[in-house]
């Protein structure tokens, strides 16, 4: 449910898109839906209340530009505060201020997709974002997005479209940022290969218990795809820059637990150096 927060925010603010200004009354009404979405995602009541209070304060303190509707402004503020809620200020700087390739890591439901979605929404508007997923979850608020979705074979065994197929096709689509919803199979080879051909500022997600297990996860995926351990490390050396570990606590709160930087040792093997946060 947490992965769908940004979609729920957008639906909550649709009623504002036809209005000319932000008032305390219409903001209060729409923020009720935002608070309900946060509570449904297991965010604590106090955190949800604090989140909506900050959004309301910022919204009432901003002027609506002619090119931006009240609804669009509210969605933008919610994205900014969602990154803050996830502890993602450092992540936002790396993704937008430098050509870093970032990997989101964590367990199921930890908030990887939500944070990735919010970061994409804050990318520069002239950049072309190409998203590849097995089933569509990412829906960034950005004017230049192309989404590609895999497809299973039909009853006759025809029509199969895999992540590998989509990544290969994406190389002809002039993407400034190539985003992979989740790396979980043989597409890891094609994705790392694509990242080594100039797709700076890209990102993806992977399942791992900690940042120190990310390398092991890549080795396992590479071996299943027929790639040797040495070949995987040779790709990792120049493909990825940072990994962000996200976790969901027992009280339902999500947070950035660790940030690591991909490094190479004297033997040419990749490892992750944990950074202070």
Distance set, CA 194 to CA 22, 105, 145, 255 (Å) = 44, 20, 18, 30
E strands along 150-236, which residues?
177-180, 203-207
Say what the pTM is.
0.64
The domain 2-85 is placed in CATH, from the list 3.40.190.80, 1.10.287.610, 1.20.120.140, 3.40.50.300, at 1.20.120.140
Residue with tokens 């996830």: 86
Return the closest-CA partner of residue 95 out of 45, 129, 50: 129
**Under 8 Å between Cβ of 192 and 183:** no
Q: How far apart are CA 205 and CA 251, in angstroms?
A: 23
| Helix or strand holding residue 107 (H, E) | none
Return the closest-CA partner of residue 134 out of 202, 173, 186, 210: 186
Task: Return the pLDDT at 1.
Answer: 41
Write down the domain spans for the chain: 2-85, 89-275
Phi and psi torsions of 22, nearest 5°: -100, 125
> In Å, how far from its chain's centre is CA 38?
18
What's the angle, vertex CA 212, arms to CA 120 and CA 114, rounded to 5?
Answer: 25
Task: Return the pLDDT at 67.
Answer: 39
**Under 8 Å between Cβ of 77 and 22:** no
Task: Return the pLDDT at 121.
Answer: 80
Q: How many helices (H) and strands (E) does the chain have?
A: 10, 8
Task: Return the pLDDT at 50.
Answer: 72
Task: Return the pLDDT at 2.
Answer: 46
Q: Helix 229-239 to helix 187-195 angle, to the nearest 10 degrees?
A: 40
Class level of CATH domain 89-275: alpha beta
Q: How far apart are CA 229 and CA 57, in angstroms?
A: 52
Q: How far apart are CA 172 and CA 155, in angstroms?
A: 30
Sheet strand arrangement including 177-180 = 145-149, 129-133, 177-180, 203-207, 102-106, 242-248, 254-264, 270-275
pLDDT, block means (10 residues), the chain with 277 residues:
56 57 65 73 68 72 50 64 56 48 87 83 83 87 87 88 88 85 86 78 87 91 87 84 87 84 86 84
The strand pair at 242-248 and 254-264 is best described as antiparallel
Task: Return the pLDDT at 217.
Answer: 92
> In Å, how far from its chain's centre is CA 108?
14
């Amino acid at each position: 449910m947490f992965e769908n927060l940004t979609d729920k925010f957008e639906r909550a603010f649709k009623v504002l898109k036809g209005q000319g200004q932000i008032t305390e009354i219409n903001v209060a009404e729409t923020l009720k839906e935002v608070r309900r979405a946060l509570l449904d995602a297991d965010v604590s009541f106090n955190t949800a209340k604090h989140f909506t209070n900050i959004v309301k304060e910022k919204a009432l303190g901003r002027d609506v530009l002619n090119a931006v509707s009240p609804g669009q402004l509210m969605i933008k503020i919610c994205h900014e505060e969602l990154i803050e809620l996830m502890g993602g200020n450092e992540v936002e700087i790396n993704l937008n201020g430098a050509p870093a390739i970032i990997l989101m890591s964590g367990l199921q439901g930890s908030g990887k997709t939500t944070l990735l979605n919010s970061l994409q929404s804050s990318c520069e508007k002239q950049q072309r974002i190409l998203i590849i997923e097995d089933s569509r979850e990412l829906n960034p608020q950005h004017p230049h997005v192309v989404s590609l979705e895999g497809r299973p074979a039909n009853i006759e065994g025809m029509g199969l479209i895999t992540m590998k197929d989509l990544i290969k096709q994406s190389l002809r689509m002039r993407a400034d940022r190539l985003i992979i919803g989740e790396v979980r199979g043989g597409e890891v080879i094609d994705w790392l290969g694509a990242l080594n051909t100039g797709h700076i500022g890209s990102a993806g997600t992977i399942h791992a218990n900690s940042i120190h297990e990310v390398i092991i996860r890549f080795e396992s995926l590479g071996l299943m795809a027929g790639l040797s351990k040495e070949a995987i490390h040779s790709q990792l050396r120049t493909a990825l820059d940072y990994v962000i570990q996200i976790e969901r606590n027992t009280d339902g709160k999500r947070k950035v637990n660790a940030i690591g930087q991909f490094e190479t040792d004297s033997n040419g093997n990749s490892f992750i150096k944990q950074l202070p946060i």
